[in-house]
């Protein structure tokens, strides 16, 4: 494992290695993208059908007004979290394992939050009136309801998209200039426009670094705020199982857990397919899995506290809810959740598990499944089993909903895999800087 470290600092080689992925796409790559586009199209058609014929094509019903769509919204917003954590928070903390994975994490953030942002629209009864949710000035002084957590969501998510997009783009500028310098024809023009005339002068670098830190400072509170606000969608309601003060930290920890898992899920094939083994090393994955273990412990603690508080409260409705969540179909989901979010990550106490890529990949997939299921478990159980037993119901997703979800996943992957072939998937300038400062890559 030590051989990449054996290399002396060879900036030219780093340059070549990291820009290599930005090349003429291979046939298999194009085919893969086409397949993803096809799945996206199917999802789009399913959504269109839902818009035309109404939400009866979903499995939603009277007590259960939110289901897979909102689950998936929360899931993608959660995924989006680790990007900011890795790029901004770790930047501020000067974590040296950060550069290798920051670009991928940031890109994942932007695309995940874009995907997430679709779902509040997809689940609307009248999506053609979505702009009612925006505080657009109008002559009737008709404003959205500023008391509604859904409106807070609108602000939280749009802020997050804006800041994380800025952050991603800003970090790209020197690399785009490097690409401009080695491109020809229209590509040169395009990269030239995109890099905003970057010349790499000392003055530019000084300004660049200052603003980068500033943006990181701005983005850091969002790591806490966005998912806290998303959690308020539930915590601010009156429903048993939703109305609880633990939700903001619980959701943030869960979000970072799922985000880290997704970074690993994407990072392992990225490293392999784009031949970045020298830059994204086992050391990086080791660090990531330590973080993942840490957040998993917070999440596990939250589960325990939730149950403890429910029974400690003595509120029969709350107790009934948590009993309901632990029995029947919801009990089975709880078991899978615990396996994915608590038990599997606990293996990362052992270094051997942290450094085995197949095991890492397996655990990351388990966490992804577990975290999606956690949101599903949490959302639909409270809705189907709330205050009035006569109004209890049940929910199961429909084909339309699954097609839309599949489409959204395809959209995310399509954007991500396109992105990593258009710009360097590992930040060139930062890796060079790290190498120069420490004489080695990564660690």
Residues found near other proteins in the complex (CB under 8 A): 53-56, 59-66, 120, 123-127, 129-130, 132-133, 142-145, 147-151, 154, 233, 236-239, 316-317, 320, 383, 386-394
For the bound state, the minimum distance from the C-beta of residue 43 to other proteins, rounded and expressed in Å, comes to 20
For the bound state, the minimum distance from the C-beta of residue 377 to other proteins, rounded and expressed in Å, comes to 16
For the bound state, the minimum distance from the C-beta of residue 196 to other proteins, rounded and expressed in Å, comes to 37
Q: How far is CA 191 from CA 17, 201, 403, 408, in A?
A: 19, 18, 36, 28
CA 38/CA 16 separation, integer angstroms: 33
Q: How far is CA 249 from CA 144, 229, 246, 306, in A?
A: 27, 11, 6, 12
CA 236/CA 259 separation, integer angstroms: 24
For the bound state, the minimum distance from the C-beta of residue 312 to other proteins, rounded and expressed in Å, comes to 17
HSE-CB for 345 with a 13 A CA cutoff: 32
Nearer to other proteins among residue 143 and residue 350 (C-beta): 143
For the bound state, the minimum distance from the C-beta of residue 54 to other proteins, rounded and expressed in Å, comes to 4
Nearer to other proteins among residue 61 and residue 362 (C-beta): 61
Are 78 and 227 a contacting pair, CB within 8 Å? yes
Nearer to other proteins among residue 4 and residue 144 (C-beta): 144
Are 375 and 333 a contacting pair, CB within 8 Å? no
HSE-CB for 424 with a 13 A CA cutoff: 30
H helices of 326-427, in order, are: 328-338, 344-346, 351-354, 357-384, 399-422
Nearer to other proteins among residue 126 and residue 209 (C-beta): 126
Nearer to other proteins among residue 1 and residue 390 (C-beta): 390
Nearer to other proteins among residue 130 and residue 350 (C-beta): 130
Nearer to other proteins among residue 93 and residue 311 (C-beta): 311
Are 417 and 56 a contacting pair, CB within 8 Å? no
Q: How far is CA 251 from CA 42, 130, 237, 256, in A?
A: 31, 26, 15, 9
For the bound state, the minimum distance from the C-beta of residue 70 to other proteins, rounded and expressed in Å, comes to 10
Nearer to other proteins among residue 144 and residue 192 (C-beta): 144
Nearer to other proteins among residue 120 and residue 249 (C-beta): 120
CA 416/CA 406 separation, integer angstroms: 15
CA 292/CA 341 separation, integer angstroms: 10
Q: Is 66 left (phi over 0), alpha (psi -120 to 50) or beta?
A: beta
Closest CA to 22 of 204, 275, 232: 275
For the bound state, the minimum distance from the C-beta of residue 254 to other proteins, rounded and expressed in Å, comes to 20
For the bound state, the minimum distance from the C-beta of residue 226 to other proteins, rounded and expressed in Å, comes to 17
CB atoms within 10 A of CB 326: 14
Query: Please, what sign has the CA dihedral across residues 208, 8, 14, 98?
Result: negative
For the bound state, the minimum distance from the C-beta of residue 238 to other proteins, rounded and expressed in Å, comes to 5
Nearer to other proteins among residue 14 and residue 68 (C-beta): 68
Q: Tokens 């899995």 identify what position?
A: 289
For the bound state, the minimum distance from the C-beta of residue 130 to other proteins, rounded and expressed in Å, comes to 7
């Amino acid at each position: 494992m030590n051989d990449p470290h054996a290399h002396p600092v060879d900036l030219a080689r780093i340059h070549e290695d990291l820009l290599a992925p930005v090349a003429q796409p291979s046939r298999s790559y194009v085919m893969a993208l086409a397949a993803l586009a096809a799945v996206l199209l199917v999802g789009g058609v399913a959504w269109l059908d839902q818009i035309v014929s109404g939400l009866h094509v979903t499995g939603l019903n009277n007590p259960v007004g939110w289901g897979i769509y909102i689950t998936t919204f929360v899931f993608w917003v959660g995924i989006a979290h680790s990007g900011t954590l890795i790029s901004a928070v770790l930047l501020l903390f000067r974590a040296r394992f950060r550069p290798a994975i920051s670009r991928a994490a940031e890109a994942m953030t932007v695309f995940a939050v874009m995907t997430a942002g679709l779902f509040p629209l997809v689940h609307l009864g009248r999506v053609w009136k979505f702009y009612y949710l925006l505080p657009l000035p109008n002559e009737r002084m008709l404003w959205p309801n500023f008391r509604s957590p859904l409106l807070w969501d609108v602000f939280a998510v749009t802020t997050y998209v804006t800041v994380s997009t800025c952050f991603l783009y800003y970090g790209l500028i020197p690399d785009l200039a490097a690409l401009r310098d080695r491109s020809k024809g229209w590509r040169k023009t395009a990269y030239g426009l995109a890099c905003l005339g970057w010349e790499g002068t000392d003055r530019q670098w000084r300004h660049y670094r200052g603003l980068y830190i500033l943006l990181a400072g701005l983005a850091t509170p969002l790591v806490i705020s966005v998912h806290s606000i998303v959690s308020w969608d539930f915590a601010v309601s009156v429903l048993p199982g939703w109305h609880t003060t633990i939700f903001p930290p619980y959701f943030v920890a869960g979000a970072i857990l799922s985000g880290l898992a997704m970074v690993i899920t994407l990072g392992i094939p990225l490293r392999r397919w784009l031949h970045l083994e020298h830059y994204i090393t086992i050391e990086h994955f080791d660090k990531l899995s330590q973080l993942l273990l840490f957040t998993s412990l917070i999440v596990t603690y939250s589960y325990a506290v939730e149950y403890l508080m429910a029974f400690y409260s003595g509120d029969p409705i709350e107790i009934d809810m948590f009993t309901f969540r632990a029995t029947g179909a919801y009990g089975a989901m709880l078991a899978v959740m615990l396996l994915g979010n608590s038990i599997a990550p606990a293996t990362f106490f052992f270094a051997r598990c942290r450094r085995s890529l197949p095991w890492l990949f397996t655990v990351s997939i388990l966490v992804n499944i577990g975290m999606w299921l956690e949101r599903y478990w949490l959302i639909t159980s409270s809705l189907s089993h709330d205050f009035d037993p006569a109004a209890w119901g049940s929910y199961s997703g429909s084909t339309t909903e699954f097609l839309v979800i599949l489409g959204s996943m395809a959209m995310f992957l399509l954007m991500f895999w396109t992105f990593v072939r258009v710009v360097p998937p590992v930040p060139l300038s930062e890796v060079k800087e790290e190498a120069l400062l420490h004489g080695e890559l990564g660690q």
